[in-house]
Structure 1
Amino acid sequence: MSDQPPHQNGADTAPLAPPGPLVMNIQFIKDLSFEVPGAPEIYTTLREPPRIDLALDVQARALQEGGNVFEVALQIRADAQVMEQGQPNGTAFIAELVYCGVFTVNVEQQMLEPVLLVECPRLLFPFARNILADVTRDGGFPPVLLSPIDFVALWQSRRSPEGQPPVAMA
């Protein structure tokens, strides 16, 4: 018999590799809301496809002071307006999703903000996109299929002229 536990042998004793610069620990739906204020009548009176107005935001916060573990939240809101003769005439549906990930980030301080507000939401986006499409389809409407998001442009548009980090990093 060997002195080593069964899971340790010569092949398994190599040192563990250090964690990468970005590790997604978990992803989850933090909040999901789908409302159809005019149901059930809306399903029989809707003549034109609704106009969809989208709002998107990204927030990041440290889960422990001075640590390298962060929660990144991708917030999406879709407001669908009933259209009659090309004019909005009431709400068809409202969908709100906050999709989050917990990330371990091992980068230098000057790279932290772009990693949190560009790379992390880029990893979360396909899952959030799928959830929003499923919810709107299951709600009786055509699925809302979000186009790819340029998170670099979104991040740059949020930066103040003085080059200060956005409020989301507070």
Structure 2
Amino acid sequence: MQDQENGAADAAAEAAQQVKMQVLTQFVRDLSFENVLAQRGVGGEVSPDITVNVTLDAKKRKPDHQFEVTIKLKVESKNKADEAALFLLELEYTGVFHVEGVPEDQMHPFLLIECPRMLFPFLRRIVHDVTRDGGFPALNLENIDFMQLYRQEIMRRQAESAPKHVS
């Protein structure tokens, strides 16, 4: 009988610790696409060199358990031969999430790793369509390792806050 009570207590504790996440809405906050190549009227062969920069932002919203997570993406394409710009795409894609059951000390990484993972397929589709509709071959973004991105940002912040030694 004691084992059944302990099992029921463990199940209740596990249910209390269960994470609940729901995407309430997602939207394009800002989008800019500039076809520099067409504006310049450059002809000839181009060999694109594409760089993708990603930054993340998360903040608490007024209602309890609601958070806003934004992926800021900057995609630059330059011609390898002469470094001439081909296109520039800037996109801010935001999701509003209802999150419960995440311990306070784990909320920051949860918001900047798990929430962007949920948004990424939609952001990828927008980039694909915008580059194609902008006159270039559709750009299919590679998967982004949001955990690695988070670790790099933490390391960068720690390096910035480390005391500077003067020789």
| TM-score using structure 1 length | 0.75
Deviation at 1:144, TM superposition (A): 1.5
Aligned residue identity for 2:86: A
Counterpart of 1:115 in structure 2 is 110
Counterpart of 1:35 in structure 2 is 34
Q: 2:79 aligns with which of 69, 82, 93?
A: 82
Q: 1:158 aligns with which of 145, 153, 161?
A: 153
Deviations 1:47-80 (A, max 9, x none): 1231111100110011128x32111001111111
Deviation at 1:40, TM superposition (A): 4.7
Counterpart of 1:24 in structure 2 is 23
**Whole-Å Cα distance in 2 between the matches of residues 119 and 54 of structure 1?**
20
RMSD: 2.3
Structure 1 unaligned blocks of 5 or more: 1-17, 165-170
Counterpart of 2:128 in structure 1 is 133
Aligned residue identity for 2:137: P
Deviation at 1:118, TM superposition (A): 0.2
Deviation at 1:83, TM superposition (A): 3.0
**Greater fraction of residues in helix:** 2
Matched residue SS, 1:64: coil
**Whole-Å Cα distance in 1 between the matches of residues 44 and 90 of structure 2?**
21
Deviation at 1:38, TM superposition (A): 3.8
Counterpart of 1:97 in structure 2 is 91
Structure 2 unaligned blocks of 5 or more: 1-15, 162-167
Gap change, CA 1:70 and 1:46, over 3 Å in 2: farther
| TM-score using structure 2 length | 0.76
**Structure 1 segments of 4 or more deviating over 3 A?**
none
Gap change, CA 1:40 and 1:158, over 3 Å in 2: closer
**Whole-Å Cα distance in 1 between the matches of residues 20 and 35 of structure 2?**
42
